[in-house]
Structure 1
Amino acid sequence: MRLLKLVPDNTNIGFVRLRYWAFGLTAALTLAAVALVGVRGLNLGVDFVGGLMIEAKFQQPPPLDAVRENIDALGVGDASLQQFGAANVVSIRLPPPASKDEGANNAVVAKVKASLLREYPGMTFTRYDTVSGKVSNELIRNGVAAVFLAVFGIALFGWFRFEWQFGVSTFVAIAHDVLMTLGFFALTQMEFDLNIVAAVLTIIGYSINDKIVIDDRIRENMRKYRKMDMPSLIDLSVNETLPRTVMTSLTIMLALGALLIWGGQVLRGFSAAMLLGIVVGTYSSIYVSSSLLIALGVGPNSFKGKDEGDKPAGRNANAERVGPRR
């Protein structure tokens, strides 16, 4: 029985020759994402803007539009509804009342409960949470700090693990991945909460994993084939790691696609962010991060092996090797 190979062993795609198109596309998408975030802004959830969260359990799955109309008629602000876990459990999020005291919060909650009980007798309310403005501001600061520290920490790791050029190229690629995710949420106005911050951090982790594998192969090949020109060497390295990149990305995308379709409303934002992050992370690893090394001046002598002899130059330099390396 032959093993399934999504990428043939002799794959020799010229990724580097498209680097200027890739750089232009990356710059345009990044600017568009920044403009979307600046103009439309993010639809921040209760975690970040503060407000009330009521978890209601109905006897049977309710029509969310009817529940929303019932709450909107009370004049307590625009309600955000999500099915939470089971189909008959609904998370109701409301903006904070004008008055900041606890009595105002309790009055809003009591009004919502009374109205829903009249319409849906027998339902129960399993949880009620309040997020104050002070707590939400702290969550914003912590979330932004977590993302920036992750990006800069990974860039520093690339610098010390390889050379400073690798750290810069990794920083540019990961910053692109994060901005693409933010731009997507600004465009779609999907709710941006702590779950999405967790998705962004997960995207950063996936991206660095993919980029480090390619960077390590580039460094290894630079020590083996010191006379090979950099565009050919980077193409060789990316093609050697391409089966691993494609297989990893496709399997993760299949799982995320299932979560996006059948995971329910509560996981939709997280799944969408992750799915987009995998796509842009794979693109930036192949077309942006590795090709950017050429513009940053990485050359054949950037790494010098002690005991390795020079190999013939040219795209077919890897012909001396026995079998493809994966």
Structure 2
Amino acid sequence: MRLLRLWPDESHFDFMRLRRFSFPLSAALSIATVVLFVTIGLNFGIDFKGGTLVELRPKAGATADVGAVRHTANGFGFGETEVQEYGQGSVSVRFPLQAGGETGQTLVMQKAHAAFDADYTFERVETVGPRVSGELVQSGTIGVVLSVVAVLMYLWFRFERELALGAIVGTLHDIVLTVGLFVITRIEFNMTSIAAILTIVGYSLNETVVVFDRTRELMRRYKTMPTVELLNLSINSTMSRTVMTATSTALSLVALVLFGGEAIKGFSVVMLVGVVLCTYSAIFISTPFLIYIGLQGHSNRSPGRDEDAALKHAAE
């Protein structure tokens, strides 16, 4: 019985040739992300901004009227509210943080119940005060920074200098573009989003380590092989594993996006895009970066029989 092959075993595709397109593309996207982050910013959720979030579902026989809900909520006098439709006709209403602490938030809920109880069921009510939201911002920021620093330190000690720099560039690339996804799509940035970013960092690290482990192995075996051929051989020899891992992970995330519900949809979408970004960066960013910084470790000797065969294979 012939096994399923998602990538040919004897592939010799010239991935390094595409670096002339991948680097300008990633540079443009990264610059655009920084500009949008500074000018527009993230769509912070209630975890970070504080306030009251109410999710309403129409009762039997009723239909959601987003415009009417927005008009009614703004008429409460609590400031500009955010009203969005989601799922099968449900509506989320986000009230800004009110003065007066718990008393102010209680008044919000009293008016919301009085206005919407007749036509809607309150599916979810979440209130976060200013102190809690501030602590969450601080804790979340410290957690992300420390995690990224720990990963970068691991990469620095895990590989030789050039390989470590390539892995660090790829990881930072994935973090920046993931933040760009939040800015562009306006997906709510909350504590779950931090979990998504850290998961993507781990996935990016995993993809890069697999390729670079093979690169280091081939460097020891083929010490005079040109860098471009060596890197192409590294990617081609690990591509079957990369495709299988990315495909199986993506299929699971697609199922979560389609059937996981609204509570985890944002997380699932970010993770799905993150898998694509991590796979792309491991092949077209981290590995080609080694060409530009000058991959070291080649000695001046004549190629052996195995190396001659490898060179011939790479040139085919």
TM-score (normalised: structure 2): 0.86
CA distance in 2, matches of 1:253, 1:292: 26
CA distance in 1, matches of 2:186, 2:144: 20
> How far is the alpha carbon of 1:273 from its aligned partner?
0.8
Please list, as runs of the form range in 1=range in 2, the aligned pairs for 1:221-240 lying within 5 A after superposition. 221-240=218-237
- Quick one: which of 70, 73, 96 aligns to 1:71? 73
Residue 129 and residue 172 in structure 1: after superposition, are their counterparts in 2 closer, same or farther (change >3 A)? same
Q: Unaligned stretches of 5+ in structure 2?
A: none
> How far is the alpha carbon of 1:221 from its aligned partner?
1.0
CA distance in 2, matches of 1:273, 1:138: 24
| AA at the equivalent of 2:7 | V
Residue 185 and residue 127 in structure 1: after superposition, are their counterparts in 2 closer, same or farther (change >3 A)? closer
CA distance in 2, matches of 1:61, 1:297: 68
What's the secondary structure of 2:19's corresponding residue?
A: helix
Q: Which moved more, 1:197-206 or 1:182-191?
A: 182-191
| AA at the equivalent of 1:134 | R
What's the secondary structure of 2:52's corresponding residue?
A: strand
Residue 131 and residue 62 in structure 1: after superposition, are their counterparts in 2 closer, same or farther (change >3 A)? farther
> Residue 263 of structure 1 aligns with which residue?
260
CA distance in 2, matches of 1:68, 1:187: 26
> How far is the alpha carbon of 1:246 from its aligned partner?
0.9
Conserved in 2, the CA contact under 8 Å of 1:81 and 1:91? Answer: yes
> How far is the alpha carbon of 1:256 from its aligned partner?
1.4
CA distance in 1, matches of 2:228, 2:152: 23
> How far is the alpha carbon of 1:54 from its aligned partner?
4.0
| AA at the equivalent of 1:253 | A
> How far is the alpha carbon of 1:157 from its aligned partner?
1.0
CA distance in 2, matches of 1:57, 1:281: 37
Conserved in 2, the CA contact under 8 Å of 1:159 and 1:165? Answer: no
1:25 aligns with 2:19: no
Residue 62 and residue 119 in structure 1: after superposition, are their counterparts in 2 closer, same or farther (change >3 A)? closer
> How far is the alpha carbon of 1:259 from its aligned partner?
1.9
> Residue 147 of structure 1 aligns with which residue?
144
> How far is the alpha carbon of 1:58 from its aligned partner?
6.4
CA distance in 2, matches of 1:142, 1:64: 37
What's the secondary structure of 1:192's corresponding residue?
A: coil
What's the secondary structure of 1:199's corresponding residue?
A: helix
> Residue 306 of structure 1 aligns with which residue?
none
> Residue 213 of structure 2 aligns with which residue?
216
> Residue 186 of structure 1 aligns with which residue?
183
> Residue 159 of structure 1 aligns with which residue?
156
1:225-283 CA-to-partner distances (Å, cap 9, x unmatched) read 11211111111111111011111111211221222223232222111111111111111
What's the secondary structure of 1:130's corresponding residue?
A: strand
1:280 aligns with 2:277: yes
> Residue 2 of structure 1 aligns with which residue?
2
Residue 141 and residue 245 in structure 1: after superposition, are their counterparts in 2 closer, same or farther (change >3 A)? same
CA distance in 2, matches of 1:198, 1:64: 32
| AA at the equivalent of 1:52 | T
Q: Alignment RMSD, CA only? A: 2.7
Counting matched residue pairs gives 307
Residue 273 and residue 171 in structure 1: after superposition, are their counterparts in 2 closer, same or farther (change >3 A)? same
- Quick one: which of 287, 290, 296 aligns to 1:290? 287
Conserved in 1, the CA contact under 8 Å of 2:47 and 2:136? Answer: yes
What's the secondary structure of 1:212's corresponding residue?
A: helix
Conserved in 1, the CA contact under 8 Å of 2:59 and 2:119? Answer: no
What's the secondary structure of 1:108's corresponding residue?
A: helix
| AA at the equivalent of 2:240 | P
CA distance in 2, matches of 1:62, 1:191: 28
1:9-28 CA-to-partner distances (Å, cap 9, x unmatched) read 11111112222332222211
Q: Unaligned stretches of 5+ in structure 1?
A: 303-308, 320-326
Question: Could you tell me the percent identity over the aligned residues?
Answer: 37
> Residue 175 of structure 1 aligns with which residue?
172
> Residue 323 of structure 1 aligns with which residue?
none
Conserved in 1, the CA contact under 8 Å of 2:229 and 2:311? Answer: no
> Residue 110 of structure 2 aligns with which residue?
110
| AA at the equivalent of 2:186 | Q
Conserved in 2, the CA contact under 8 Å of 1:151 and 1:171? Answer: no
CA distance in 2, matches of 1:293, 1:40: 34
CA distance in 1, matches of 2:82, 2:289: 46
CA distance in 2, matches of 1:13, 1:20: 15
TM-score (normalised: structure 1): 0.84
